[in-house]
Amino acid sequence: MKCLKLLYNKKMVKGLPLVGKQHRDSFRLGKPWRESEPLELVHANICGPMQTLSLNKNKYFIIFVDDFSRRTWVYFIKQKYDAFVIFQQFRVLMEKQSGYCPKTLPTDRGGEFTCNKFIHIVK
């Protein structure tokens, strides 16, 4: 930084803009980085279509990541519209195994999770 300021002040480089340090916000206080209990926040995404099909002829996979534990589940699917059925299976499995139910399902707004079925099932 000192060298760049020196170059600017002495006009040693044409067109050099005045450079300063970038402001950086502090970490949020009071809110933990991760959620406080399992399945409070589950990230989801669908990847595909893949050029090479899986052994069962699947073109896509859907991934669920628990923000609390960072545990990851991967399901292979043939079409994007299978996402709702897979999510229902995932939800039932989580309720049986952990006693918790997925509460929030943020996505990349790719359209796979925007049908009315998802809106009514995730509270």
**Taking the domains of the chain in order of start, what are their residue ranges?**
42-121
Bridge partner residues of 22 (DSSP): none
Nearest to 74 by CA among 32, 116, 110, 45: 45
Q: What are residue 82's phi and psi, to 5 degrees?
A: -75, -5
Nearest to 60 by CA among 8, 110, 119: 110
Euclidean distance between CA atoms 70 and 6, whole angstroms: 47
57-109 pLDDT, tens per residue?
999 999 999 988 889 999 999 998 888 899 999 999 999 988 888 888 877 76
Euclidean distance between CA atoms 61 and 64, whole angstroms: 10
Map residue 106 onto helix, strand or coil. coil
13-51 pLDDT, tens per residue?
888 777 666 667 666 666 556 677 888 889 898 998 999
Check if the beta carbon of residue 83 is closer than 8 Å to that of residue 77.
yes
Q: Where are the alpha helices (DSSP H) in the chain?
A: 2-9, 83-98, 116-121
Q: Which CATH architecture has domain 42-121?
A: 2-Layer Sandwich (3.30)
**What single letter denotes the amino acid at residue 109?**
R
